[in-house]
Each structure stands twice: as C-alpha cells, then as structure tokens.
Chains A and B, each alone.
Chain A
Amino acid sequence: DQQVKQNSPSLSVQEGRISILNCDYTNSMFDYFLWYKKYPAEGPTFLISISSIKDKNEDGRFTVFLNKSAKHLSLHIVPSQPGDSAVYFCAASAIRGQNFVFGPGTRLSVLP
C-alpha cells in the first residue's frame, strides 16, 4: 500500500501560469515533507521542505502548503517556466533521521 501518493502522473501548464502539484499521504505519523525535482539522467534535486509545525513554506517561485487534517500537501510554482519541466516527487518522513518515503512522481510539462 502506497503511503505517499501523487495521483496525477502528468500535468501540462502554459508558461507564466501557476503549476499545482498534489501529494497525499496515509501515515499520520509523517511530520516532515520534501519536494524534489528530477531531470532525465540526473539525480533528484531538493526544492523545498515543510515540517508539520507549519502550513506553508515559500522559497521564490515555489510554495508548499500542508493540510495535516487532510493529509495533503501541494507544491505551487508561479510563474511556471519551461525549465521547470521535470518529474516532481514528494517525500515524507515519520521520525527524524529515518528513511524517506517517496511518491511515484508527477511529470510537469511547461509549454512555451
């Protein structure tokens, strides 16, 4: 059973518009969440994180929102740029220093 779900395998957005990538989790013990971006033939690179004591974290064009009661988080990218086209993974951890569980990823395509 997948503990971290990204139900949209792909998403297409026009350049300049907002991209919203969603992630749902089932384990209520998860308290720390990360978003990663992955280009083909490269390892994933860290984008942004959020802990369960917050409901929003912002870094430039990237904002992550956490709704603990719904066990849902989302990554907003605004404005979207063609270089943002990649696969985005969310990951969660239940205990600090333990392994991270990754979702299956969402492929974002930003169209010029």
Chain B
Amino acid sequence: GAGVSQSPSNKVTEKGKDVELRCDPISGHTALYWYRQSLGQGLEFLIYFQGNSAPDKSGLPSDRFSAERTGGSVSTLTIQRTQQEDSAVYLCASSLVFGFNEKLFFGSGTQLSVL
C-alpha cells in the first residue's frame, strides 16, 4: 500500500485479555517503530526494529508487552493480560534509515480501550 496500515483501528477488550495489534509498514522501509499516546499525553516510544538487527525494546513498559517483525515487514505488538492503564492510541511508523532526509511515516493508529 501507499502508506503505513494499522489494524484494527479500534479495539475494545476486557481487563486481563491479550490483544494483538498489527502494522504493515511502507514497502521497502527498513525501520519500524511503535509508539503510544495516552489521553492527554505525548508520544511514548515503545520499540524499534531496524533490518535484521536486534530490536531496541527499551521503551516497553512491562514484560506484558512484546513485538515481532516477521520477514522484515509486518509487525505485531502483543499486550498480554491487559490493564486499564494500557488504554491508549498505539501508533506504528516506518522509515527509510539511509539518506539524509530520513523521516517517520505514521499509520492512523489503533485505539485500544481496556474495560
């Protein structure tokens, strides 16, 4: 596709359930990022994938959060045993790493609501 695609656009779940959020980056982009934005807050970095390198997981808030990137393309962010404080918009972005005018292209996000 032309842009970064995220699914689902909205997800409502019950506390304690697991959820999976999907991101399809722009074709050819080697870097993929997950951020989240809680209500009234800024963008919080979660995890970053770059090619075949080990991901930078330094932003994951707890071990309930994990992410994979298969085949250097699609990524899945998994939240286990969801808590109400996990409610946020989860944003995925991709970028071409090389080149001077590097910038992030964002998807529209997944609005996660944990009841």
Binding site for B on A (CB under 8 A): 6, 32, 34, 36, 41-46, 49, 51, 89, 91, 96-105
Contact = CB atoms under 8 A, between A and B. Distances in A.
Interface of B: 4, 31, 33, 35, 41-45, 48, 50, 56, 58-59, 91, 93, 97-98, 100-109
6 contacts: A43-B93, A43-B108, A44-B104, A91-B104, A98-B48, A102-B43
Contacts of B98: 97
A89 B33 CA distance: 16
Contacts of A45: 106
A44 B43 contact: yes
A45 B50 CA distance: 21
A51 B100 contact: yes
A32 B102 contact: yes
B95 to A, nearest CB: 9
Nearest to B6: A43
A34 B103 contact: yes
A88 to B, nearest CB: 11
A34 B104 contact: yes
A46 B45 CA distance: 17
B106 A89 contact: no
Contacts of B91: 43-44
A100 B106 contact: no
Given A89-B43, A104-B41, A46 B108 contact: no
Nearest to A43: B106
